[in-house]
Every structure is written in C-alpha cells, then in structure tokens.
Amino acid sequence: MRWNVDVRAFRYWAERRDKSPTPKLMSLDEAVKKFLRNGAVVALGGCLYSRTPMAAVHEIIRQGFRELTIVRNLAGFETDLLLVSGCLKRLVTSWCSPGYAWGMSRILRHYVENALAEFEEWSHLGIGLRLKAAAMGVPFLPTFSMLGSSIMEKLGIAEMTCPYSGEKLALVPALYPDVAIIHASRADTYGNIQIDGYTHMDKDMAQAARHVIATVEEVVDSDEIRRSAERTVIPFFCVDAVVEQPFGAYPSECWGRYEADFSHIASYQKRVDEKGIEGAKSYVSENIMGVSSFMEFLSKVGIEQLLDRVRAFRNVVT
C-alpha cells in the first residue's frame, strides 16, 4: 500500500504520549536534534511566504538531515534551500514557486526534471484533506476535487460510489507526518499555541503529526493564554517542543508582527538568476551554514531591515 494510513498504529502513538502539562521550552537546536530523523516526513506550517518556519528550516539544513519528505500546501523558496543543501528527497505539495514575481523555481526545475527529487502533486484541498483525515483519526476523506484529473490517475487515488447518494467520490488518504513544524504568534511553555490571522493548515497538521515543534514569536505566561483561550488553535497535549524565536518566519511574514521581505527573496533570486544552483548554494553557505544560529542570521539582516518590515505590516493594516 502506497499510503500509510494505519490508523491503529498512529492512534496507539497518541494514546501513549505523555499528556501531562509539562514545560517544553527548549532551544531550536535541541528540538530539531531530538525530533527529526533522516528520511522523516516533515510537514512545514504556514503557506508560501506566510509564517514559514524558516528558523527551523535553517536548523534542519545546519544539522544536515537527509532524504526528507517535506509536506507543505504551497511551497516557496525554502524548498530551494532544502534542495541545494541535499536535505530534500520528496516534496508533497500542490504548488511550488518562490512567488508571483519570480515564476517557476529554476532550482526545483533542475532537481525534478533530472529526477534528483520527486514532486508529488495534489490539489490544494487534497493536501488539506490528507492532513484533516489524519487530524480526525480516520484513514481517508471523500471529495469531488481531483476526480477525472491526471493528478488522481498519477497518484492512484481510489474512488468510490457513495452508498447513500450514489455519487462518485475521490478518497483522499490520511497523511500522518513524523514531525510538524509550525511558526506561531505565541505559546506558553506547555505548548498551548495561538495563531493570529491566517491559520492555514497548521491546526490539522499539528493534530496529525507524531511530534510537533512550535517556534513562536513570544512565549507568554499561561494566564495570558487562559485570558484569550478563543485564540488557541493547538492544545498543549499535541505539542512536543516550544521554541521562542522572534522573527522566526523571516523573510516570510508573520501576521500581526511583520510583512514579508521581498527584497531579501529578490536578492536570493538574483543569485539564482546569475549563477543557478551555485548561486543558491552561496546563499545557504553565507546565511545558514556560515552562522551558528538563526539569531546570527537575523543580525546579518540587521535591525533596521527587520523594523522596516514591522512598520510595513502596520502600513498595510491601517
């Protein structure tokens, strides 16, 4: 069976988890080391350049994990970085591009067209339903999406005739990531996670995964979470690690905090335009391998640039 939808095994894992409210604050270095493995299925939260867990992506690259399957609904420039660093074997997504301004990724094209990496394509809702099925603890969810398409045919998605209505439906198999990594607005030390603005697919992803690492803009007191419980989207018992990392999505945006830094992505793209893969590798060696932490990377970016993005966010919302 191509899809691992062994709901009993995944449920067993959840049942055996330590669900006591214990403090889970740790360093990013420690969290990534503890929960990632070579060959793991890693789901990245956010969407395109919104709340990309970029600090964690840097750490994965720095620690040199291999053969990863990366799951992301709309994948962006982080895919390039993981590819040229030799971390990524298979991308499970509905769409991948550095963004509207840059069109198709030249790096991704090279890897996929030469069969150096796999591009497993689903529809956008297809990715959503895979994670939602796992989050619900069921082996599949039905939809009309993807029926009749080559996506359905290439993936070998099963269809059925509904016993109640007689309608034909595509059955989207659950996807249980080994690790989900999300970047959120805030959490307490126990891992009650709050997300401002778009939630994307982060809630389902966290609920579906075996382990969850949450990097957050700020760690707050539990009383603050309890005063605004309506904003909590992931409860502590789903979470394994909480890492405080301000600007942890940069150069992606984080709602309520800072807008994306397109000038940074553009400068990366310029390297790729000029030197292809070597250009992308030079970005990685200077900004990821050449620094000891994401904080050091942010220092290289500079406080002025970061504050400029904070102001940009305020300009958009006002």
Q: Considering only residues 40 through 59, tell me which ones interact with other proteins, judged by CB under 8 A.
A: 47-50
Scanning 91-141, the segments in alpha helix (DSSP H) are 106-113, 124-136
Q: Considering only residues 56 through 75, tell me which ones interact with other proteins, judged by CB under 8 A.
A: 73-74
One DSSP character per residue, 182-224 reads EEEEEE-TT--EE--S--TTHHHHHHHSSEEEEEEEEE--HHH
Residue listed under structure tokens 């992506």: 57
In the complex with other proteins, which residue's Cβ is closer, 21 or 197?
A: 197
Token representation of residue 61: 């690259």
> Quick count: other Cβ atoms within 10 Å of Cβ 290?
13
Q: Considering only residues 270 through 299, tell me which ones interact with other proteins, judged by CB under 8 A.
A: none
Pick from 119, 210, 235, 305 the residue near other proteins by CB under 8 A. 119
Pick from 150, 156, 164, 304 the residue near other proteins by CB under 8 A. 150
Rounded least distance, CB 59 to other proteins, Å: 24
Helix (H, G, I), strand (E, B) or coil at 67: coil
Q: Rounded CA gap, 101 and 86, in Å?
A: 26
With contact defined as beta carbons under 8 Å apart, do 4 and 210 qualify?
A: no
In the complex with other proteins, which residue's Cβ is closer, 160 or 229?
A: 160
Q: Rounded CA gap, 38 and 68, in Å?
A: 6
In the complex with other proteins, which residue's Cβ is closer, 74 or 238?
A: 74
Phi, psi of 243 (to 5 degrees): -125, 125
Task: Count interface residues toward other proteins (CB under 8 A).
Answer: 62
Rounded least distance, CB 35 to other proteins, Å: 25
> Quick count: other Cβ atoms within 10 Å of Cβ 199?
18
In the complex with other proteins, which residue's Cβ is closer, 36 or 233?
A: 233
Residues binding other proteins (CB under 8 A):
47-50, 73-74, 93-97, 99-101, 103-104, 108-109, 112-115, 119, 121-126, 128-129, 132, 143-151, 154, 159, 167-170, 197-201, 203-204, 253, 255, 259-260, 262, 313, 316-317
